[in-house]
Amino acid sequence: MKIRIAPLTCIAFLITWTILFQPAHLAAQSSLNDSQIRDKATSLLRQMTVEEKVAQLAQLPGMDIPDSSENEKRPLQEILKQNGAGSILWISDPKEINRLQHVAVEQSRLHIPVLFGLDVIHGYHTIFPAPIAMASSWDPKMVEEAQAVAAQEARAAGIQWTFAPMVDIARDARWGRMVEGAGEDPYLGSAIARAQVLGFQGKQPAAPDHVLACAKHFAGYGAADGGRDYDSSYIPEEQMWNTYLVPFKAAVDAGVGSLMSAYMDLNDVPATGNRWLLHDVLRDTWHFQGFVVSDAFAVHSLMIHGYARDPQDAAHKAFTAGLNMDMASGTYLKYLPIELQQKHISMPQIDAAVLPILETKFRMGLFEHPYVDESRLEPTLNDPAHQQLARSAAQRSIVLLRNQGGLLPLDKNSQSIHSIAVIGPLAEAQADLLSMWGAMTKPAPTVSILQGIQAKAGSAMHVEFAHGPNIRRDNPSPFEDIAMISAVVQEQPAQSQPQRQQSIDDAVALARRSDLSILVLGELDLMSGEYASRSSLKLSGGQEELLEAVSALGKPVVLVLVNGRPLDISWASDHVPAILEAWYPGSQGGNAVADILFGDASPSAHLPVSWPRNSGQLPLYYNHNLTQNPETEPDFHSRYQDLSSLPLYPFGYGLTYTTFAFDNLKVTPTGRVDGAKIEVSVDVTNTGARPGDEVVQLYIHQRAGSASRPIRQLKGFEKVTLASGSKRTVHFTLGKDELQFWSPTVKTWVVEPEQFDVWVGEDSKAPLHSEFQLTN
Ligand code: BGC
């Protein structure tokens, strides 16, 4: 069926003319205002056939994909020529992007450019620390700068849309995708979400050198049953509003141009077909004006979920729920025209879905500048300032968990340490410092931790390396089959038991003849991320054995962790004097770790998650409710009979090379419940001998009300730099945004006239306390 709505008009001719003769070197940026954009998009829409409209609702896969989809097997250029396409994903090569864009713009009837999307999650070429690491910096400004560089590099390669930020709250470290988000807390998560949206998009998605952002995965993906990726989430409405939706709302308020629907069932309705999420919350309540893309194949998967009876029903359910674009499954392309013909959906519904996609393309200047100037790519990627930023971002993201006896920082001129053994299966790793998405683009050469230490030690110290046992996933990751990833990922071959023992013995022998050992242990990149949930958080593949054997020598040991989630380091935290959490630190990871180890930079990061003792404690989060047997009671032991129920390290925790004192906490409430403003101030003093950064954190607790409230909730933070001995007064204001919550008894947002506690300090256990009363 081919319905022609209108013949080509003069406007289309003008568009064509502009496209064909525009100077390719100009940075993409629209010169149109919002009402001109709406007019242009509406006028273009009027000229489109049904097939051309539906094509805008499709995102075509730019690489080979499994057959369990509805995609046509024709070459992309033929599909583009016929009706165009809304978007193409999984292509990172600017030449190929330009080639396909030329087909869409010059050979399709209406010359509508394609939006090219890719997972530029924490860098395109310069890879920044993984998102959980950047969240550990508690430094939104740095995060914004890093994602602005990621956007600049991606845009120089022709990518106009990134599938980031991932803003899923994650409270269960078994879930592999904890690495991609900002951890467990909605307040910190919102600050990091906002920073990422601004970094990617600039002031608006049309800003030059920026990309359209996509907040994902809407919503509740992090609460998968048992931490098993893709499993159903069951989240009561009050938790949705107070916790899981909060960072999405922050992203929407920051102007995010698109959202991605999640894979899993939310309360028995798959997120991709969930009208409550996509329509009632997103459009009706938040007034979101952009568009929503599904996660990959998720429209087609509605059938596999047992929610849709066949692919047409899947297209119907996703479309009528409010999903604009079908990522990679081909289901919309094939079935929406049939749905329309059978009058199950209407033309105004189709138009409403297409309009924000066309508007986005106009807003981003794609009609004016559809092509990428390939000559700008190399100079952009090779800008030395990008690597510099990656190094300081990594320094600011590494958490010092333990430093007994002040073992760190190491002194190059030490009288007792002349030789260092660098040991472990991640010590010479490069791609593994990037995490899975970092490996998917065009990563710059990575500095391994071994290289970083060697460069830093120079001739002052003797550095030797032993690999220790190889580590591997127990079952393979499906991402190993993706060419872009397998080209970069470095697999460690399987070992027999005698080979593994030999590798441990060799490492212990090296440690024995060295003055100090630095063990670099953790998870390979594909051991965290999508399809990478774990039932156990233990250091796998003989790493724990290696650590204990080296520690048994009685010489100083530093443990550096490279991983995407908290691991079970209970033994280490009792026996290993110094522990650094490096996460996946990115391209400059090795240099940044060495900077911290040798004191050229001081650690300043704090945990964005509560660190569990083992996986039996999961899910674990600091902002849980009180019970009739609170942890604060003097006779409280544990909620388990065999393990403390408290985390190994609390949310917000992190050490540095100096110490800070907090005092003079002042709380001044003004106004009544409506329009209340609570001014909070505290003095922070650097009481140690070195300069350092402190993350000043403010927590509140509402003592009574229409619902039980969490024992503590983060409601303010600021990262401050203080010279030794200096003092600074830090100010916070608590207003409606901080005091309100969605009450399950009144089914709406409330600020209640109740008594509140306030704590300020360096983590979620901060003892410095005050209180205030809100009055009617
Ligand atoms: C992931 C998304 C990602 C998409 C496109 C999916 O498997 O869940 O986070 O953006 O693939 O690569």
- Cα(311)–Cα(301) distance, integer angstroms: 9
Report how far ligand 1's centroid is from the alpha carbon of 489 (Å).
Answer: 18
Distance of alpha carbon 366 from alpha carbon 160, whole angstroms:
9
Tell me, in angstroms, the distance from the centre of ligand 1 to residue 699's CA. 34
- Residues known to be catalytic: 295
| pLDDT at residue 29 in the model | 56
Residues 6+ apart with CB under 8 A from 416: 515
Q: Is the pLDDT of residue 166 over 90?
A: yes
The string of pLDDT tens digits covering residues 256-278 is 999 999 999 999 999 999 999 99
Q: Is the dihedral of CA 17, 20, 25, 30 positive or negative?
A: positive
**In what helix (H) or strand (E) does residue 596 lie, and over which residues does it extend?**
helix 589-597
pLDDT, the chain, mean:
94
How far does residue 295's CA lie from ligand 1's centre (Å)? 6
- Mind spelling out the 3-state secondary structure of 376-426? HHHHHHCCHHHHHHHHHHHHHHCEEEEEHHHCCCCCCCCCCCCEEEEECCC
Ligand 1 center–CA 338 separation, angstroms:
28
Among all chains, which residue has been given the structure tokens 């409010």? 322
Give the pLDDT band of residue 441 (cuts 50, 70, 90). confident
Q: Residue 119: CB within 6 Å of ligand 1?
A: yes
One DSSP character per residue, 415-476 reads SS--EEEEESTTSS-SGGGT-TGGGTS-PPPPPPHHHHHHHHHTTTSEEEEE--S----SS-
The response to whether residue 180 sits with its C-beta less than 6 Å from ligand 1 reads no
- DSSP code at position 308: S
Ramachandran angles phi, psi of 671, nearest 5° = 80, 170
- DSSP-derived pairing of the beta strands 557-562 and 578-581: parallel
742: its two tokens = 């969605």
How far, in Å, from the CA of 62 to the mean position of ligand 1?
Answer: 14
Q: Supply the pLDDT for residue 24.
A: 35
Strand order in the sheet with 755-761: 713-722, 692-702, 755-761, 769-773
Q: Which atom of ligand 1 is least distant from the CA of 163?
A: 10
What are 415's two structure tokens?
């009288």
Torsion angle of C-alpha atoms 505, 511, 514, 515, degrees rounded to 10: -160
pTM score: 0.95
Cα 284 from Cα 276, distance rounded (Å): 10
Taking CA atoms only, the protein residue closest to ligand 1 atom 4 is 296
CA of 89 to the centre of ligand 1 (A): 10
DSSP readout, 39-56? HHHHHHHHT--HHHHHHH
Measured between alpha carbons, how far is 237 from 285 in angstroms, rounded to an integer?
Answer: 14
Residue 217: asked if its preceding bond is cis (omega within 30°), the reply is yes
Place of tokens 């024992």: 711
pLDDT of 137 over the 90 cut? yes
Instruction: Give the model confidence (pLDDT) of 565-604 as tens digits.
Output: 999 999 999 999 999 999 999 999 999 999 999 999 999 9
* Nearest residue to 682 via CA among 652, 718, 713: 718
**What is the per-residue pLDDT for 69?**
84
Backbone angles phi, psi at 692, to 5 degrees: -170, 170
Give Cα separations from 411 to 358, 416, 461, 693 (angstroms). 59, 10, 10, 21
For ligand 1, atom 11, the nearest C-alpha belongs to 296
* Cis check: omega of the bond before 634, within 30 degrees of 0: no
- Nearest ligand 1 atom to the CA of 214 is 10
Residue nearest to atom 2 of ligand 1 (CA): 295
pLDDT, mean of residues 725-746: 98
Confidence of residue 438 (pLDDT cuts 50, 70, 90): confident
Q: Which amino acid is present at 187? A: Y
pLDDT higher for 594 or 29?
594
Evaluate: CB of 693 within 6 angstroms of ligand 1.
no
Q: How far is the CA of 298 from the centre of ligand 1 (A)?
A: 10
pLDDT exceeds cutoff 70 at 25: no
Provide CB contacts within 8 A for 63, sequence distance 6+. Answer: 90, 91, 482, 483, 484
CA–CA separation, 558 and 91 (whole Å): 41
How far, in Å, from the CA of 371 to the mean position of ligand 1? 25
For ligand 1, atom 10, name the residue with the nearest CA.
163
CA of 347 to the centre of ligand 1 (A): 30
448, 465 in Cβ contact below 8 A? no
Using the atom order of ligand 1, give the atom closest to the CA of residue 328: 5
pLDDT in tens, 354-411: 999 999 999 999 999 999 999 999 999 999 999 999 999 999 999 999 999 999 999 9
Tokens (6 digits) for 233:
């989430």
Please name the residue whose Cα sits nearest to atom 7 of ligand 1: 296
CB-ligand 1 contact for 530 (6 Å cutoff): yes
Q: How far is the CA of 636 from the centre of ligand 1 (A)?
A: 44
Asked whether the beta carbons of 640 and 694 are under 8 A apart, the reply is no
Q: Provide the pLDDT for residue 206.
A: 64
Question: Minimum mean pLDDT among 202-216, 313-327, 534-548, 602-616: which range?
Answer: 202-216
Mean pLDDT, residues 198-214 taken together: 88
Per-residue confidence at 205, pLDDT binned at 50, 70, 90?
A: low
Mutate to test the pocket of ligand 1, among 65, 260, 435 (most ligand atoms within 8 A of CB): 260
Tell me the torsion sign for CA atoms 591, 592, 598, 601: positive
State if residue 296 touches ligand 1 by the CB under 6 angstroms criterion.
Answer: yes
For residue 161 and ligand 1, the question of a CB distance below 6 A is answered with no
Q: Which atom of ligand 1 is nearest to the CA of 217?
A: 9
Residue with tokens 């308020």: 253
How large is the average pLDDT for residues 646-660?
Answer: 98
Question: Counting Cβ atoms within 10 Å, is residue 300 exposed (0-12), middle (13-18) or buried (19+)?
Answer: buried
Q: How far apart are CA 206 and CA 203, in angstroms?
A: 8
| 583 contacts: CB under 8 Å, gap ≥ 6 | 129, 130, 132, 133, 136, 179, 397, 398, 561, 562, 563, 564
pLDDT score, position 150: 98
Asked whether the beta carbons of 695 and 659 are under 8 A apart, the reply is no
Least confident range from 75-79, 480-484, 716-720: namely 480-484
Atom number, ligand 1, closest to the C-alpha of residue 166: 9
Three-state DSSP state, 511: helix
Q: How crowded is residue 374: how many other Cβ atoms within 10 Å of its Cβ?
A: 16
pLDDT band at residue 553 under the 50/70/90 scheme? very high
> What would the two tokens of residue 515 be?
């003055």
Distance CA 161, CA 164 (A): 9
216 CB within 6 A, ligand 1: yes
Pairwise CA distance, residues 181 & 168, whole Å: 6
Res 27 pLDDT > 70: no
- Rounded CA gap, 468 and 613, in Å? 25
Judged against a pLDDT cut of 50, whether residue 13 lies above it is answered with no
Cα–Cα distance measured from residue 596 to residue 408, given in angstroms and rounded to the nearest whole number: 8
Supply 592's token pair: 């940044």
Ligand 1: nearest atom to the Cα of 180: 9
Say how far residue 25 (Cα) sits from the centre of its chain. Answer: 32
Could you tell me if the CB of 694 is within 6 A of ligand 1? no
Q: Which stretches does DSSP call E strand in 650-766?
A: 660-670, 677-686, 692-702, 713-722, 727-734, 741-743, 748-750, 755-761
The pLDDT-based confidence of 671 (bands split at 50, 70, 90) is: confident
Cα–Cα distance for residue pair 150/210, rounded to 1 Å: 9
**Amino acid (one-letter) located at 312:** Q
618 contacts: CB under 8 Å, gap ≥ 6: 171, 172, 173, 174, 227, 612
Q: Is the pLDDT of residue 10 over 60?
A: no
Is the pLDDT at 59 greater than 90, yes or no?
yes
Rounded CA separation 573/588 (Å): 27
Cβ proximity of 342 and 371 under 8 Å: no
Q: Which of 277, 269, 326 is nearest to 56 (CA)?
A: 326
Q: Tell which one of 264, 526, 530, 531 to mutate to probe ligand 1, the residue whose CB is within 8 A of the most ligand atoms.
A: 530
Q: Give distance in angstroms: CA of 327 to centre of ligand 1.
A: 9
pLDDT-above-70 percentage for the chain: 95
Q: What is the pLDDT of residue 20?
A: 37
Q: Is the CB of 295 under 6 A from ligand 1?
A: yes
pLDDT of residue 18: 36
Q: What is the mean pLDDT of residues 76-95?
A: 96
179-183 average pLDDT score: 98
Cα 296 to ligand 1 centroid, rounded to whole Å? 6
Q: Tell me what the mean pLDDT of segment 631-639 comes to.
A: 89
8 A C-beta contact, residue 226 and residue 233: no
Pocket mutation for ligand 1, best pick of 87, 200, 216, 531 (most atoms within 8 Å of C-beta): 216
* Residue to substitute in 68, 163, 484 for testing ligand 1 pocket (most ligand atoms within 8 angstroms of CB): 163
